[in-house]
A and B are shown apart, each in its own frame.
Chain A
């Protein structure tokens, strides 16, 4: 409950900062304000996939049965945040570049590949009967997927991509202090939201599993 409250407070603060505090970008104008939600959502999706892979590693390494469900919930949230990244990014692309999608941008295409890869995780998971085999297969798949994250993140830095902007370079964030502060608050808000949703969904799934167990015991 405290994480949900923190998420609400941080989201309110982020919206207030975006609406009333942060200056309008001189180059892109008002549409640049999408950046304060789009990038934190993308980074949160990466964090969810990373957390899912860490839990998957625990399934294989420590034989931690609880970690299988935790990995699944983290990846589920990662896919939701990934879908939001694609939608908000597409709207921003339309506002800034005049197109909904640019296939020539390696970062966009790699993010789409990452997103589709994790969408296929659910197909794999639900095609196998529940049990250790499903947990192991899902864990291996989740760990493979996490390899795509640094590739997706570094793609724009390794390749000369002139379409998608690079704000965070080797010389630090290329923006004013007020913009960076707003970005940090938005990112904290997204992470807190993901954490709250993770805990709620996990609790729901655990109660569901226990109820099923109890029902079987009673029949």
Chain B
């Protein structure tokens, strides 16, 4: 692998890692929201 190839691969990898990290963060946030929603539903059910 030439130096130019390494730099091009690194640039594209950085973009994809950043996008992947963003998707993972959003996915974990959605999981947290889902848990919060379940907890609220439980509370409403408990109230009768």
Contacts and interface: CB of A to CB of B under 8 A. Distances in A.
Interface string B1-30: 011110110111011001100100010011
A218 B29 contact: no
Contacts, number: 64
The number of chain A residues touching the other chain, given as a range, is 20 to 34
A215 interface: yes
A113 interface: no
Contacts of B37: 211
The number of chain B residues touching the other chain, given as a range, is 20 to 34
A193 B3 CA distance: 29
Nearest to B7: A95
Given A193-B19, A211-B37, A215-B40, A30 B8 contact: yes
A170 to B, nearest CB: 29
Contacts of A42: none
Contacts of B19: 193
Interface string A25-38: 00001110110011
Interface of A: 15, 29-31, 33-34, 37-38, 41, 80, 83-84, 87-88, 91-92, 94-95, 193, 197, 200-201, 204, 207-208, 211, 214-215, 218
